[in-house]
A and B are shown apart, each in its own frame.
Chain A
């Protein structure tokens, strides 16, 4: 083939018009048209692509929000200090079940299916309280269980409302309170006269009138052959037992008589007395001389009333007793306690991780950067420290610190415990971070770019902070984030075991709640344990997911590998 010069091809262009295109412009590197992605932005992007970690982060965020918002808005956290010196607790609602809905047929509505003894069942059938304890008493299933040849135990199984604490007798300490209740009832239109099913005040009982000499009970006893040969001692004993019975069961407002067992009257068990031809027992309400019901009575300077406790609660505290996660045996709201516990546990976890991070970073950096003899000695020290179990340090720190009265006065019981916790968890908590930092320094200090920088005259400080540390940052951040669930877990295990003792300090942590649940007994009150257990499991899972996501996100070698 004949070879041609390049310009021969374009020979149609006249010589004078031929011009080089970039004759005047100098050619050099141009900027990328695309936007540069920085290290941090890249990490965030890679993190967001990992769905599991995002879910973990969201759950953590929910916990954080719960820890902040619930204590602010929970009505239980804003009760009057004069009503509850040590924060809200009302033993009337001890151990009530979680309640989120009203009458949801058993789902999260504070009701439960239980077996009620026959006596209890029959007594609860009649009540002058606003809410029934037995829900649909006619649906209860009767069950007979033979104990011995002759005796059987009868129980009724069905749904009961744990919130229906019923009617109580109350001694008033504030003389204006009775009037205030009356005003409240009038304003709401729920006074006993107009709306007996909603009222706070219930008529007082006149037990003595019922048990009076020649009164209704004695007449009944005589008619039923309990008085033999004019011997009233059995009846007198019964009357004492009935008095006792009425005091213990303040919801019983009607006439009671001894129960029959195998054709004989039992002196200590009582049931409603339903006269022939009637369906309900007759009430023993107190009446004044003109025949009106009496709601308030002053005896020996004590002013007593009889109230429906839930309605009274609403009047007294201004909100309804509804515990989303139920109440513990002290009658405290588990939801609020869990939020406070999460608050404390998260704060403790973050604070301890931060302290450990700083100590471990400095220690590991020195040990890893200088190496040699210094490293050997420092390694021995961490070896010793890391082999002492936290549980031992915790025990010793707590006994030493709480025994120190001077310290206790200065910091208060809560401060002393927190100081002991800090000491115990910082004592060997930083060892892990130190080890990671040391490894990272070993990894990077020999690399060429560090050598280049050193050759250019950079000093130790510049090498550590400008060249090595930024490269190690991802790994270190991840390890310190993963330390938070570790601290929460150790704290909860130790306080569950009772080694960390929060009792006098008023602090509640998730671990303390777990211990409370264990004491309440999971057989009878599973919810007291269940919610803290779920909370700590969720926290652990989400922190692990979050941490794993962070590790992948900060691992720059993975950059672009998934695309």
Chain B
């Protein structure tokens, strides 16, 4: 990283590329989703007439002269969608009141005529809270374990922990989710098996207790990942020349490790943590499913199971955007925390 201008240029370049990538993915998935067969929603309180009227208002269907509805071609739908984003259409309900349509379409099956963005915002809190707890738990433990292992390298504690970490990384997180749920919730009965119902306070004791199991099962993998990474980085740093210099100028082993080695080993780990912090928005679908967390992952799953394509599209795009931004942030932060890495440098 030479100077601020270069950095800014690089970030801008990456940003433009990211937006381009996002748009291409968006168009592809838009087309694929709109090609799926569309059936009128059925169920209590849902009527096909409103469904079709809304589809016409959203520019997805046209009413033929004989009263039947037909899908408009996919590319026209894409045009209509983009127009809709900036200037939403209006429609009249039977009582003559004029409404504006939602920019992102509607949920038809999960929650009749709710806007997908509002649904998503409503489901965000549990996902975010659980992920933040998980980060608070896993980062310090992971770093501490990794440091311990690096200092005890190739002695028995390191060997035992290495095996344990290998197992933790290999075993799918839902397996320990099941085991934890079975033992702590059903055999010992000391923790609730599912997330408590929302009673107006996300930080009540009941809510906290019910979030322990999902948080722990999410943290295992992260802890193992951080520990392994920290161990690898730290063992490399500990053998480097500047550590020898630090020791020869009179620092104790602890001083040298904390002030010099640990800080340096954090350089590649910090972007990792940053990426994880960003992914708190997306959450883990499978853990949310096991513990009935009812967060973003649950919404995504519901939208697939109930074939609620507008919600599916919105949440998918949300996931893709988070993935792209996460990648960008990690890449940029690498350069920011480690000046030796020249971002966007040539291949030589």
Q: Name A residues whose Cβ lies closer than 8 Å to a Cβ of B.
A: 371, 380, 383-384, 387-389, 391-392, 395-396, 399-400, 403, 442, 485, 489, 492-493, 496-499, 514, 518, 522-523, 526, 529, 533, 536-537, 540-541, 543-545
Contact = CB atoms under 8 A, between A and B. Distances in A.
A522 B28 CA distance: 40
B320 interface: yes
14 contacts: A384-B28, A388-B25, A389-B319, A389-B323, A395-B304, A399-B36, A399-B37, A497-B289, A497-B301, A499-B301, A522-B182, A523-B193, A533-B178, A536-B172
Interface residues of B, number: 42
Contacts of A387: 21, 25, 320, 323-324, 327
Interface string B30-44: 001101110000000
3 tightest A-B CB contacts, nearest first: A541-B170, A540-B170, A537-B171
Contacts of B240: none
A529 B178 contact: yes
B29 interface: yes
Contact of B32 (A389, A391, A396, A522): A396
Given A388-B29, A392-B29, A395-B312, 18 more contacts: A383-B17, A384-B21, A396-B32, A396-B33, A396-B36, A399-B307, A400-B35, A493-B172, A493-B286, A497-B285, A518-B178, A526-B182, A529-B178, A533-B174, A533-B175, A533-B179, A537-B175, A543-B170
A541 B33 contact: no
Contacts of B305: 498
A540 B312 contact: no
Nearest to A514: B174
Interface in B167-185: 167, 169-172, 174-175, 178-179, 181-182
Contacts of B169: 544
B172 A492 contact: yes
Most buried by B among A388, A498, A544: A388
A108 B316 CA distance: 46
A387 B25 CA distance: 8
Contacts of A540: 170-172
Nearest to B33: A396
B2 interface: no
B186 interface: yes
Given A442-B347, A540-B170, A497 B175 contact: no
Given A384-B25, A387-B323, A518 B290 contact: yes
Contacts of A536: 172, 175
A395 B300 CA distance: 11
B316 A392 contact: yes
A537 B172 contact: yes
B341 interface: no
A400 B37 CA distance: 8
Contacts of A533: 174-175, 178-179
B36 A400 contact: yes
Interface in B35-69: 35-37
Contacts of B193: 523
B309 to A, nearest CB: 9
Interface centre among B24, B37, B170 (most CB of A within 10 A): B170
A489 B161 CA distance: 24
B174 to A, nearest CB: 7
Nearest to B32: A396
A540 B176 CA distance: 13
B166 A541 contact: yes
A545 B172 CA distance: 15
A447 to B, nearest CB: 14
Contacts of A485: 170
Contact of A523 (B29, B186, B307): B186
Given A384-B21, A497-B289, A529-B178, A489 B172 contact: yes
A389 B32 CA distance: 14
A404 B132 CA distance: 43
A442 to B, nearest CB: 7
Contacts of A529: 178
Contacts of A544: 166, 169-170
A467 B161 CA distance: 41
Interface string B210-239: 000000000000000000000000000000
A496 B181 contact: no
A388 B320 contact: yes
A493 B327 CA distance: 24
A518 B290 CA distance: 8
B33 to A, nearest CB: 7
Interface string B3-26: 000000000000001000100110
A170 B170 CA distance: 49
Contacts of B181: 522
Contacts of A541: 166-167, 170-171
Contacts of B320: 387-389
A545 B166 contact: yes
B37 A403 contact: yes
A389 B167 CA distance: 26
Contact of B304 (A380, A499, A518): A499
A522 B323 contact: no
A466 B11 CA distance: 40
Contacts of A537: 170-172, 175
Contact of B28 (A380, A388, A389): A388
Contact of A389 (B35, B182, B290, B316): B316
B303 to A, nearest CB: 9
A544 B224 CA distance: 15
A497 B28 contact: no
Contacts of B301: 497-499
Nearest to B315: A392
A485 B319 CA distance: 24
Contacts of A384: 21, 24-25, 28
A156 to B, nearest CB: 21
B174 A493 contact: yes
Q: Which of B21, B171, B172 has the most CB of A within 10 A?
A: B172
A526 B175 CA distance: 12
Interface in B329-348: 347
Interface string B290-308: 1000000000110011010
A543 B307 CA distance: 36
Nearest to A389: B319
A537 B170 CA distance: 7
Counting chain B CB atoms within 10 Å of each CB, which of A396, A442, A485, A545 scores highest? A396
A544 B228 CA distance: 15
A522 B21 contact: no
B28 A496 contact: no
Contacts of B178: 518, 522, 529, 533
A245 B324 CA distance: 64
B214 to A, nearest CB: 15
Contacts of A442: 347
A533 B35 CA distance: 37
B21 A383 contact: yes
Nearest to B177: A533
Contacts of B25: 384, 387-388
A522 B186 contact: yes
Contacts of B289: 497
A400 B35 CA distance: 8
A90 to B, nearest CB: 26
Interface centre among B25, B166, B174, B289 (most CB of A within 10 A): B174
